[in-house]
Amino acid sequence: MDNARIHHYKKLIKELEKYDNIQIIYNVPYCPQFNPVEHIIGIIKNYILRHNVKTKKHIEMFLKKAINKIKSKTYKNCFKNSLQKLSS
């Protein structure tokens, strides 16, 4: 998680700590190269920019298409790469 104040909310932390398969890792203050969400948004943005988008309706259509084209492996790789960068 990034260091947004909401992510340090004690009730949220306690709720997440109930699960054995969740480990809370905080990202350094805003560093997009370590943020997997920024990588996903970049993929979506590049897809939209490659098409001739002229209207809000086009943006919505290509946004949905871009999201649907991203495979689960890509999501996993974005998170894995971000964790590796944080660990080094």
User: Cα 56 to chain center, whole Å?
Assistant: 23
Band (pLDDT 50/70/90 cuts) for residue 65 is very high
Three-state DSSP string of 31-55? CHHHCHHHHHHHHHHHHHHCCCCCC
Residue 26 has, within 13 A of its CA and on its CB side, a CA count of 10
pLDDT of residue 24 exceeding 90: no
pTM score above 0.85: no
Band (pLDDT 50/70/90 cuts) for residue 36 is confident
pLDDT average, residue stretch 42-67: 91
Question: Hunting for tokens 């660990």 — which residue is that?
Answer: 87
